[in-house]
Structure 1
């Protein structure tokens, strides 16, 4: 009886956390497909050696892959929902990932300085908010890689079109000031 009560309590806390965060942010923690993870990892190649930040890191699926793929780089995740954030913390400890940190914060309320790459899988309203942050200098970054949703007012440096059912795009934007003279966007079909 005690174990069942504990289990029910844990399930209710997880569900409540996800529902509350969904109401606050307008989106629930949603994992990407394996093809999308591969696309994001490909677009992060050749982006330097600086920090990679995942805005809305959810259950940690991407940040854990990033930490394993780039052990020499600092990986940081931001997730507001309690249950996914806690799950990711546990996985970091179990896997011994020293280059990965996750914060339970709303990424729209922080400044990001000296970030090499921002990664996200959000919704159009959040992408607009990120664009606003970039334009005011609150997010100082060189690249932004976005799964599925475009950054308004920007042309991607490169676009991968996944071979999934929806032909989902993964975008890479060059954000730093010299991006005005960038070469024409490339589109590649992958995965």
Structure 2
């Protein structure tokens, strides 16, 4: 084996360990929004006029970048705590800059979310419970991929064909 091969193997093992560590810490692996889910979510936002958007658990930016493009006058903040997706977000923002997009490596549950008027989420059920507790009295619109808010009634449920079965996009309007 050459030194380059050994370094490549070490690098790949390091990346895998980072993903495993972040997945254990966050309770979920990075799972990108599919193109059909993205299209449905963006379609739901067409009639909205948000000024401050948060992508909570932005992953690789599958929604943050299209939301920033669709709403150039709005400020979009992508929150991601996992190292590999966060680095990918930074690289992608360098290669495809969006003036209205900022990327934060912060736990959104520890942030003040009161100024956002649109949330996009693709979180797992426990994180949805925590988010619900945090923003339960907030006036906002939220689009959630796959997972519903435990105690909120959605304004709309849009079934979307997924890779294996069907998932749903949930729209919540809290006034």
Normalised by the size of structure 1, how large is the TM-score? Answer: 0.83
In the superposition, relative to structure 1, how do residues 141 and 27 fare at CA in structure 2: closer, same or farther (>3 Å)? farther
Q: Measure the CA separation in 2 of the matches of 1:174 and 1:53.
A: 15
Aligned to 2:38: 37
Q: Which runs of 5+ in 2 are unaligned?
A: none
Q: Which runs of 5+ in 1 are unaligned?
A: 177-191
Q: Measure the CA separation in 1 of the matches of 2:58 and 2:11.
A: 21
Q: Aligned-pair RMSD on alpha carbons?
A: 1.7
- The 5 Å alignment of 1:4-23 reads 4-23=5-24
How far the C-alpha of 1:44 sits from its partner, in A, is 1.8
Q: Measure the CA separation in 2 of the matches of 1:104 and 1:12.
A: 23
Aligned to 1:62: 63
> Please, which moves more after superposition, 85-94 or 42-51?
42-51
Task: Tell me which stretches of 4 or more aligned residues in structure 1 moved more than 4 Å.
Answer: none
* Contact residue 50 and residue 118 of structure 2 kept, 8 A: no
Aligned to 2:117: 116
Normalised by the size of structure 2, how large is the TM-score? Answer: 0.90
How far the C-alpha of 1:151 sits from its partner, in A, is 0.5
How far the C-alpha of 1:107 sits from its partner, in A, is 1.6
* Contact residue 47 and residue 116 of structure 1 kept, 8 A: no
Which digits, 9 at most, give the CA deviation of each residue in 1:158-183, with x for residues without a partner?
A: 1111134522110010123xxxxxxx
The DSSP-based 3-state class of the residue aligned with 1:61 is coil
> Please, which moves more after superposition, 30-39 or 155-164?
155-164
**Please, which of 148, 154, 158 is the counterpart of residue 150 of structure 1?**
148
